Amino acid sequence: MSTERRRERIDRPIKAVTDDIFCLSSMREIAYLVIPRILPIVGLLLLGFLVPTYWRKVIVITFIMGMMALSWDFMASCGLTSLGQALFFAIGAYSSAAVNHYLGLPIYLSIPLGTLIGAIISTACIYPALGLRGIYFSMVTLIIPLMLMRVVETTGILGGTEGITGLTHFPGMFITTTISMAALWATFFGLRRLIDSDYGHIFVALKDNDRAVEASGLSIRWFKVQAIFIGSAICCFCGAFMTHYYMSVGMSAFAVDLSIFPIAASVVGGMGTLAGPLLGAIILGPLSEALRTFGSFRVVIYAALLGTFIVTLPEGLFPYLARKYQQIERWVEAPGGISED
């Protein structure tokens, strides 16, 4: 009999029975659990406030993109895979800009209002497509932003091709960084708590088995509407924030790279984990800034990265790293050749 070897994976002995009960017996073991949770928060705090001004701008953009990725991941976990996340961004950006420009409301009113109005409009736009599932939904979400872009372009409403300029700016860089970072963590922990709650289980069930949801006497469509509302509200906030950050809004809010970035971040980091997209955004954000000189090749690199990851590491970086961190791996003899477990 040929002896082949297989890789055996054993959980580190610190874990007892379930995933969230641990036996801790030393500071080292406490550190083992605490450090991966504290490190990103402290790391981002230090990064956000200590780096030079130019890179601070990059970090703010990264935070916002991280929120977009989180929102994409949340919607994807509800079975609503969107290929047009730019739609929500643009709607949020335009509604906040309109509120600020035409009604003259101050910035601390226009961003929340823009978020709320934007989320309502986005939900209304997506509503016809909510009867669809899987790739059919993706196809429609790909179409809608381009359609709205044409509408804005041809009718000339909301500034047409030039967009709206001269919006109120944030009072200072410190506030900008603080708001974006607070919003990022609020989104992350909020969504994680939401997904883990009973209410959130319904959203996950929409993806896994929507007929079970219907059989439980819950309306699929109504819960999809809620999922879209939550997801799009996050993106609308990003849009509203970025409009005021750039002090203008234009056709570029509908651009393809805004749709492709959240997907790329989620796929690179690991879909359906929430922490994964965040990790992906933190890697891809500065990377895309570094690639800025390449112009349109930037999108090529994104897309190529996306394709490579989905073929070679479909689970994503975060689950991969988490596995490496939490399990001991060793090679053992496997008589007859058993596949990896």
Partner 1 sequence: MLVYGFINSVILMMIALGFSITFGISRVANFSHGGFYILGGILTWYGLIKLGLPYFLSAGLSIIIVGIIGAVMYRVVLVRLRGLELSEVIATFSLGIVILELLRGLGVFGYEFRNPVFIDGSVEIFGVGVGIQRIIIVCAGAVLLLILHVFVHHTKMGLAFRGVAQQEHTALSVGINPDQVSMLSLAMGSIMCALAAVLILPLGVISVDEGYDILIKALAVCIIGGLESTLGVLVAAFIIGYIEVLTSMYISSSLTSVIPLACMLVILLIRPSGIFGKSKEIEERV
Distance CA 29, CA 291 (A): 40
Inter-CA distances, 166 with 99, 115, 213, 279, Å: 13, 19, 48, 34
Residue (237 or 302) nearer to partner 1, CB: 302
Residue 1: partners with Cβ closer than 8 Å, 6 or more residues away: 335, 336
Instruction: Name the segment binding partner 1 (CB under 8 A); options: 8-16, 24-32, 45-53, 140-148.
Output: 140-148
Q: Which of 303, 313, 321, 334 binds partner 1 (CB under 8 A)?
A: 303
Inter-CA distances, 251 with 118, 254, 280, Å: 16, 6, 26
Whose CA is closest to 7, among 310, 327, 319? Answer: 327
Q: How many chain residues interact with partner 1 (CB under 8 A)?
A: 45
Count of C-beta atoms within a 10 Å radius of residue 326: 15
Distance CA 53, CA 260 (A): 27
Residue (105 or 305) nearer to partner 1, CB: 305
Instruction: Name the segment binding partner 1 (CB under 8 A); options: 67-75, 87-95, 284-292, 310-318.
Output: 310-318
Site string for partner 1, 61-100 (x = CB under 8 A): ---------------x----x-x-----------------
Q: Which of 13, 43, 134, 337 binds partner 1 (CB under 8 A)?
A: 134
When asked if residue 157 is in the footprint of partner 1 (CB under 8 A), the reply is no
Instruction: Name the segment binding partner 1 (CB under 8 A); options: 5-13, 61-69, 126-134, 191-199.
Output: 126-134
CB of 95 to partner 1, least distance (A): 20
Residue 285: partners with Cβ closer than 8 Å, 6 or more residues away: 58, 59, 61, 62, 65, 66
Kindly identify the residues of this chain, within the stretch 191-210, that bind partner 1 according to CB under 8 A. Answer: 210
Phi/psi at 329 (5° precision): -115, 140
Total count of residues recorded for the chain: 341
Binding site for partner 1 (CB under 8 A): 76, 81, 83, 128-129, 131-136, 138-140, 142-144, 146-147, 150-151, 153-154, 210, 214, 220-221, 256, 260, 263, 267, 294-297, 299-300, 302-304, 306-307, 310-311, 314
